[in-house]
Amino acid sequence: MSLSFGILGFLNYKPMSGYDIAKAFESSLQFFWHAQNSHIYLELKKLEKKGYICGETVIQSDRPNKKIFSITETGKKGFMNWLAEGAGEEATQFKSSFLMKVFFGGNMTPAQSTDMLRKFKTDCEAYIKKMEDTPKSIDKYGYNKESYQTMYWQFTVDFGYSFIKNCIEWAERCIGKLENINEQYPKEN
């Protein structure tokens, strides 16, 4: 469902091929909506069937042929309606199997759970680095760069940063508490 709106959103900027869309996802939406390229092609077919987009094959001599998709008026309406729906309840929902593991952490040894949290922290730090490398490639796509469009992209980047920083601080607090306990009851470890 959401993937199709992501595709529509990109095609609303300009016509693109499935390959282009996959690239666009990778350098932006990826951080909060991962898209498999196989899934993108499937969704493009569905959207075409629905009349939301239409595709046109472009013959290329130097590269493999490609199919360029454009958004239709119906597609635009569908996309705008989705936007107009605004924030749903799912927005506050944070689904995480990792937190489920933390929840059941009492079944691990303190050493095990501390390791898990440390690994999580390291992963978060790696994630920040990955994010830092990405804005440059967003610029590369630069649809309507002049407009206030980019401000919204910045909002999502800002969210990502503060989310990850928050994760790191949380992990540090947890590790700290676990270390305290190990000092108090060294034999339990």
Partner DNA sequence: AGGCTCATGTAACCGGTTACATGATTAT
Partner DNA sequence: ATAATCATGTAACCGGTTACATGAGCCT
Of these, 38, 56, 65, 98, which contacts a copy of itself (CB under 8 A)?
98
Shortest spacing between CB 9 and a copy of itself, in angstroms: 4
Only one of the segments 37-45, 46-54, 66-74, 143-151 lies at the binding site for a copy of itself (rule: CB under 8 A); that segment is: 143-151
Contacts of 120 (CB under 8 A, 6+ apart): 98, 167, 171
Query: Scanning residues 5 to 64, which ones bind DNA (CB under 7 A)?
Result: 17-20, 22-23, 34-39, 41-45, 60-64
Shortest spacing between CB 77 and a copy of itself, in angstroms: 12
**Angle, nearest 10°, between helix axes 18-26 and 2-13?**
100
Interface map 39-78 toward a copy of itself (x if CB under 8 A): ----------------------------------------
Cα within 13 Å of Cα(177), Cβ side: 7
For the chain, counts of helices (H) and of strands (E): 8, 3
Q: Which residues pair with 70 in a beta bridge?
A: 54
